[in-house]
Structure 1
């Protein structure tokens, strides 16, 4: 992204984008927070040096301040290489914005890359009406673009010059908060002092992720658990997943490997960063560890994990008018690294993978006493299988999984839109069979949509005809969805479902009928959607479905 493009992003915002920002930050913004200036600028080892450098300066034009800051940087810090400010003037007639401003790390002072931004700001020629929040929303959007390029950073400093006033900001995954508003006519040297302070901040003070380290010898980045080299994982260059929003979980994933060279070309693990809401437990890690102890097969394995920082810690020393939404950032490394199941290379590969996933669900329940409760396309991958002739289906994402022994009498409804079992939609207690029913719906969504990109029902629906029965499987009216799904799983309705299969999946119709008969046997002429709870019945269902998948996959010509 070029510097001019980045500046335009900060100004040319549509009404819908502005409203989206209002909605995202609603009730998550605090202005004039007590203790702000003291926390970030007064109580720092470089504060006296910065104050002395700025003493006696006036409040000239912004360009003059920028030049003065750049000339002072070498006297304020020893490692000045690559630390520089950059402003982007905007000359649109009638546009009140004077400049978008960035503090950057990098050798190219003329180029603004979002991945190198340390601090961002906005400067306006004249004071804007407080009732017009557009200029603040532009700053929010600017910050969002930085987090989008740097999804693992802890927080971001920002500032807003509005005529002769200055307001300092910090953005994090729980929202945004600011200092008091300063009058630059009363404190004419303050802007220079603040900008010099930003330039003196360490990576940690600037909000960068200090857990991600850089190896200068080979220019790679890595994470390391317990400060042990044998627990070091080198990070791949490209994000597998990264959020486009600022406030929230901020879940971001990278490929990784214990070898620096392998991490770039063929990563075999995944590093996930995520800000979970305040909770004394980490349910996914606990259940994965429980599954490991119980020798569950066919699911992801945790290779390393660590809680890094919390919002409460980052905001310590500040006084807020109401309790904050605390989040804790964790780093978790799992293996294997695979491909989303919808990116299958062939129909036989998909069917074998689905058979593997039936076996994984069987091991999870019969060996581990755990049910997944969120079987959907997004939570299934196809992974390499060292020494084997084919790739393997693997179950991921255990955030909603449940240890059956510790289930409460009343559990909330769980699952993903479009994939929830009929019994769950009816308010029944989640059972092992519901996971298998959801896996069956995965096959139907893939066979009808034949979409190799979308990993959720809404994405697949965009390519479906208006009359597709799958369209009635989504929405918030769970009673209506239950009735429609039950009708579609009836003998007559299911024939119509098969008619919707894409041509590529026509050879899979016989398999689908066999699976349907296993999952929905007829009792007195009506499909049975309940669960036989004895262990022998569960094993029969797992074995029957897995065998059907593998047999069908093997029937395709080599």
Structure 2
């Protein structure tokens, strides 16, 4: 009752007063039939898919290594190592490869200066990096000289750059050694676009053991992330570590990481030759590139895909890449603009590739459902399919990992702290169970490569040309969300700065990305491992892993507007800035972030002062609007604990009034 009185005395809006009335009535007599207000249910193990975070969830970030390494560890979560037949599977398609390796080994054995009693000639006993680099470059060229002339056509060469940063990174990254596209080590492009197989060198053999804090695999993973970002058609990445003389091969994909058994290059000579030659001779498909993205006349400038739609084959020429999620494990969404039948004058389509959990309902099916329901202000469906590689569905377990048997391999688990994942099971775990690291049972959470094609083309909402255009687009998106919820019975669950768009021709706002959407009446979870979201825009309740409802998505609209007004000094990425206090939101413990957000909105006066302090000059005119939205979304400075359809109208009303006043 006291809170109700305070609300009335503060002359809060009518809808806030009524919510306080409902609170009082419910505290005395539980409400059973009042609509449209419904208490939000608490999640349970059986109904809520846990939220997770990966390196692609960061927004307006400097990607400082002190933050990113921990996020990479949390993103990967587990490493399956000591996988047998690793090289056999990945090098199996190289023509006459075994006989080629035997030939090179025989020639090495015939030369006493190549193989000595204690290993390879030239191996530095202290295994310092500079010495190992010289050894690898020298021995590799010696191997290549022994390759018969008929087989001496390599797709890539070994290049060392331990003291030079790679081109194309947000932050400076230095790869120790790598197999790079080209056939002449002296004349190759060193950018991430051309790095096919990264390597990491360590002098200490203990660094080979894949623990949470060992540096070798983490450093390699950092390079792999850069390769995934730069190479748009990359499905997986192979790499290697050399710790002392102990070598191990690695495969990184959208489900995680697997590693071969380790071996000593000074003792297992044939295996070492196999690796060095194999990486240079593999085809691009075996290296992890997508063969469905084809090149016309061998031109990298003219790429296209073919689809079967309504019984007909259509050719879609790819234009520029408009989105590439920066992550290793996850959906890894990539979007291109595309033109049907090479007609550059036609309205562009959007091709979206992503790796979904097999258990999830296909995004294409939900977009098709939305289209059939005539939902407005949501991306328009055109086509969807599962990508086929080698005449089979392109998934991780069968296609990418080639059905390698991992069930009896070592699995090193890195239990996610609350920084990366909070679910009801982790709360109940004992300290002893959380400390368990090694397991002989390695469960792989399979993902499948999906392709969706949309008819609407636009730009992210932060590209709005004026503050007025931004508010108008957000209002359109809220209307689209309301239509999606009411007409198609879908809850979006991933409202973020990248999923709210402005149409290129009309300027209207619309919503994209139904990857994480669910039916609002779903009675059971999908069974998928987790759902990745952008924590900066997550509702407070979602950060606390409470059941995700439409109310929380509406709160996310608030955080999107709040974030844009702070981080953008004008329209577009060129006007984005990094604000240290908010960059931490990308890496912060989720419960801690929930408390930070609660603190920001709890006091009206403090909140208003914060807007004046943090908002960019360009967006200061929106302070009254954001201030009023805070009153609506967080009545009396607290979380909205009721599913009230009134909130749709209240938020749109605030935006409409602001548009009239600007």
Query: Do they superpose with TM above 0.5?
Result: yes
Tell me whether 1:256 sits opposite 2:338 in the alignment: yes
Tell me whether 1:397 sits opposite 2:513 in the alignment: yes
Contact 2:207 2:216 in 1 (8 A): no
SS across alignment from 2:470: helix
Report deviation, 1:382: 1.2
- Determine which structure has greater relative contact order: mean sequence separation of CA pairs < 8 Å that are 6+ residues apart, divided by chain length: 2
Contact 1:418 1:474 in 2 (8 A): no
* Equivalent of 2:159 in 72, 82, 87: 87
* Alignment match, 1:36: 86
Tell me whether 1:233 sits opposite 2:319 in the alignment: no
- Give per-residue Cα distances to partners, 1:316-349, cap 9 Å, x unaligned: 4422222223222323333423222122111221
Report deviation, 1:294: 0.8
Tell me whether 1:202 sits opposite 2:283 in the alignment: yes
- Give per-residue Cα distances to partners, 1:473-503, cap 9 Å, x unaligned: 99525885686466446xx677657756655
Contact 1:105 1:117 in 2 (8 A): no
* Equivalent of 1:268 in 344, 348, 357: 348
Report deviation, 1:69: 1.7
State the aligned residue count.
Answer: 508
SS across alignment from 1:69: helix
Report deviation, 1:89: 7.4
Tell me whether 1:130 sits opposite 2:206 in the alignment: yes
Contact 1:54 1:193 in 2 (8 A): no
Q: Counterparts in 2 of 1:277-426, with a 5 A limit?
A: 277=357, 279-282=358-361, 284-308=363-387, 309-313=394-398, 314-320=400-406, 321=409, 322-385=442-505, 390-406=506-522, 417=535, 419=537
- Give per-residue Cα distances to partners, 1:416-448, cap 9 Å, x unaligned: 646556787899865555544443444444445
What is the distance in 2 between the residues matched to 1:163 and 1:514?
62
Contact 1:423 1:529 in 2 (8 A): no
**Residues 353, 259 of structure 1: CA spacing in aligned structure 2 closer, same or farther, 3 A cutoff?**
farther
* Equivalent of 1:114 in 171, 192, 202: 192
Report deviation, 1:299: 0.8
Report deviation, 1:364: 1.6
Contact 1:57 1:188 in 2 (8 A): no
What is the distance in 1 between the residues matched to 2:81 and 2:158?
28
Structure 2 length normalisation: TM-score?
Answer: 0.62
Report deviation, 1:528: 8.1
What is the distance in 2 between the residues matched to 1:69 and 1:253?
39
Contact 1:41 1:197 in 2 (8 A): yes
- Give per-residue Cα distances to partners, 1:371-409, cap 9 Å, x unaligned: 334433332111213xxxx41111122234332233569
Q: Structure 2, unaligned stretches of length 5 or more?
A: 1-63, 115-121, 123-135, 165-173, 209-213, 388-393, 410-441
Q: How well do the aligned residues superpose, as a CA RMSD in angstroms?
A: 4.9
What is the distance in 2 between the residues matched to 1:198 and 1:400?
37
**Residues 183, 224 of structure 1: CA spacing in aligned structure 2 closer, same or farther, 3 A cutoff?**
same
Contact 1:105 1:118 in 2 (8 A): no
Moved more, 425-434 or 152-161: 425-434
Contact 1:152 1:273 in 2 (8 A): no
**Residues 300, 87 of structure 1: CA spacing in aligned structure 2 closer, same or farther, 3 A cutoff?**
same
**Residues 373, 488 of structure 1: CA spacing in aligned structure 2 closer, same or farther, 3 A cutoff?**
farther
SS across alignment from 1:28: strand
Q: Counterparts in 2 of 1:535-546, with a 5 A limit?
A: 541-542=648-649, 546=652
SS across alignment from 1:324: coil
* Alignment match, 2:27: none
* Alignment match, 2:306: 224
- Give per-residue Cα distances to partners, 1:458-481, cap 9 Å, x unaligned: 987537799xxx99x995258856
Contact 2:363 2:452 in 1 (8 A): no
Report deviation, 1:295: 0.8
* Alignment match, 1:7: none
Tell me whether 1:439 sits opposite 2:439 in the alignment: no
Structure 1 length normalisation: TM-score?
Answer: 0.72
- Give per-residue Cα distances to partners, 1:85-105, cap 9 Å, x unaligned: 23337699xxxx998241524
Contact 1:255 1:267 in 2 (8 A): no
Contact 1:236 1:254 in 2 (8 A): yes
Contact 2:240 2:247 in 1 (8 A): yes
Q: Structure 1, unaligned stretches of length 5 or more?
A: 1-12
Report deviation, 1:296: 0.3
- Give per-residue Cα distances to partners, 1:145-166, cap 9 Å, x unaligned: 4333225422333345667665
